[in-house]
């Protein structure tokens, strides 16, 4: 479950090579100070999570977990100087159907699903996302795969954790850009870094996992309710799950990619939710992030789904 927000805090970086690329770091709240309300209306019972020192730049203080020499690693691990942006946009974004490419991609996706389900079994009150990250790392390595987020553009963990708040028709989306995005629940919109904060009763946490197996990436995630989550939180997850399923259901050869956003908007339009335009879905296969770039908000982007396209839909990830 992803990007349905009233206001939310998140990491913006080139970690996902989202289209359009993000540039710069700062705070985006309202078009002008006069538009900003004096007080914010609370969403449910969840807490806005902020680190003690929110502007901590870099991740050099975080030690990545090690991987055995025998595990096949992606190029960005072996050659970190390579431009992931150039690699992404040079990829055709398709696979050859009825070949080993399709078989290997499906196997990677199948393993990613298993990792996601394993991750869900780890979620409970008191566990830290660091503990979850370590167990996910070990699970992936046990299956002779590599955790794709690890060292991708310097990302220091083996999974991403995140979640968002509620949308309100009279309040703009607010994104606080925290370069190292410490605490990664409740109000981190994307690419939160697992840390030592224990999960609390009522938290909402998304765990995003990607595996690299036999030359192909498989990418998936799910949002989990921690303990007794209030009704607004449960509704948020339910609505976004419906949006995800609706978007998947319309995919077929010949369908314009922009119809994905239209399907989502048709579902959430009367429910006082909105979609953050800051992040997109993406092609997946030999390259972690590649065209086609999937926009989840209303758009007029060209592009039509074709046989062989493999891509993620990330507007909602329950």
- Tens of pLDDT along 265-311? 999 888 878 888 888 999 999 999 999 999 999 999 999 999 999 99
Judge contact between 295 and 314, C-beta under 8 A.
Answer: no
**What pLDDT, on a 0 to 100 scale, did the predictor assign at position 96?**
93
Name which residue leads in pLDDT, 160 or 318. 160
Please state the pTM of the whole predicted model.
0.77
Q: Greatest CA separation found in the chain?
A: 59
**CA–CA separation, 12 and 194 (whole Å):** 16
pLDDT value for 25:
27
Question: Which of the four pLDDT bands, split at 50, 70 and 90, describes residue 64?
Answer: very high
Neighbours of 219 (CB within 10 A): 24
Query: Distance between CA 118 and CA 184 in Å, rounded?
Result: 19
Q: How far is CA 299 from CA 173, 224, 248, in A?
A: 18, 30, 18
pLDDT score recorded for residue 273: 84
What's phi and psi for 282, nearest 5 deg?
Answer: -160, 160
Mean pLDDT lowest for which of 59-63, 182-186, 245-249, 309-313?
182-186
The Cα-based distances of 210 to 44, 113, 176 in angstroms read 31, 9, 25
* Cβ–Cβ under 8 Å, residues 298 and 264: no
Q: Is residue 240's pLDDT more than 80? A: yes
Question: What would the mean pLDDT of 173-195 be, rounded to a whole number?
Answer: 48
Quick check: 215 and 109 in contact, CB under 8 A? no
Which of 110, 155, 158 is CA-nearest to residue 130?
A: 158
Over residues 203-210, the mean pLDDT reads 93
> What is the pLDDT confidence band of residue 38, given thresholds at 50, 70 and 90?
low
Residue 217 pLDDT exceeds 90: yes
Position 191 pLDDT exceeds 90 = no
d(CA 314, CA 300): 18
Which pLDDT score, from 0 to 100, does residue 91 have?
Answer: 75
Residue 92 confidence (pLDDT): 76
pLDDT of residue 137: 99
Q: Are 35 and 221 in contact (CB under 8 A)?
A: no
Contact 1, 316 (CB under 8 A): yes
Predicted confidence (pLDDT) at residue 259 exceeds the cutoff of 50: yes
CA 188, 190, 194, 196: dihedral to nearest 10 degrees?
-10
Can you give the length of the chain in residues?
A: 318
Mean residue pLDDT of the chain comes to 78
Lowest mean pLDDT segment, chosen from 7-21, 74-88, 118-132, 216-230: 7-21
pLDDT for residue 233: 87
Element holding 223 (H helix, E strand) = strand 216-225
Q: Quick one: pLDDT at residue 1?
A: 36
pLDDT at 190 over 70: no
For the chain, percent of residues with pLDDT exceeding 70:
72
User: Band of the pLDDT at 55, cuts 50, 70, 90?
Assistant: low
Q: Give the per-residue pLDDT at 173.
A: 24
Instruction: Map out the domains of the chain with their CATH numbers.
Output: 8-30+73-81+93-294 (3.90.230.10)
Reply yes or no on whether the pLDDT at 156 is more than 70. yes
More confident residue, 135 or 170: 135
Of 17, 37, 6, 80, the C-alpha closest to 232 is 6
């Amino acid at each position: 479950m992803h990007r349905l927000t009233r206001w939310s805090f998140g990491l913006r970086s080139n970690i996902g090579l989202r289209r359009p690329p993000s540039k710069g770091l700062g705070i985006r709240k309202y078009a002008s100070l006069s538009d900003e309300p004096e007080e914010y209306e609370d969403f449910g019972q969840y807490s806005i999570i902020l680190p003690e020192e929110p502007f901590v730049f870099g991740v050099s203080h975080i030690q990545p977990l090690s991987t055995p020499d025998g595990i096949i690693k992606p190029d960005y691990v072996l050659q970190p100087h390579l431009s992931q942006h150039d690699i992404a946009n040079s990829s055709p974004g398709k696979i050859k159907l009825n070949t080993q490419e399709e078989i290997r991609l499906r196997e990677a996706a199948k393993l990613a699903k298993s990792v996601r389900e394993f991750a869900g079994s780890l979620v409970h009150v008191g566990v830290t996302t660091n503990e979850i990250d370590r167990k996910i790392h070990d699970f992936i390595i046990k299956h002779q795969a590599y955790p794709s987020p690890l060292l991708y553009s310097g990302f220091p963990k083996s999974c991403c954790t995140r979640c968002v708040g509620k949308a309100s028709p009279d309040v703009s989306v607010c994104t606080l850009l925290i370069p190292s995005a410490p605490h990664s629940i409740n109000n981190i919109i994307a690419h939160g870094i697992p840390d030592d904060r224990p999960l609390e009763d009522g938290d909402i946490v998304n765990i995003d996992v990607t595996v690299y197996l036999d030359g192909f990436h498989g990418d998936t995630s799910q949002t989990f309710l921690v303990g007794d989550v209030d009704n607004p939180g449960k509704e948020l997850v339910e609505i976004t799950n419906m949006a995800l399923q609706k978007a998947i259901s319309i995919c077929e050869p010949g369908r314009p990619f922009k119809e994905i956003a239209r399907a989502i908007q048709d579902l959430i339009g009367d429910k006082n939710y909105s979609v953050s335009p800051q992040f997109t879905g993406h092609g997946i296969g030999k390259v972690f992030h590649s065209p086609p770039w999937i926009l989840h908000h209303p758009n007029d982007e060209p592009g039509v789904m074709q046989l062989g396209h493999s891509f993620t839909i990330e507007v909602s990830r329950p």
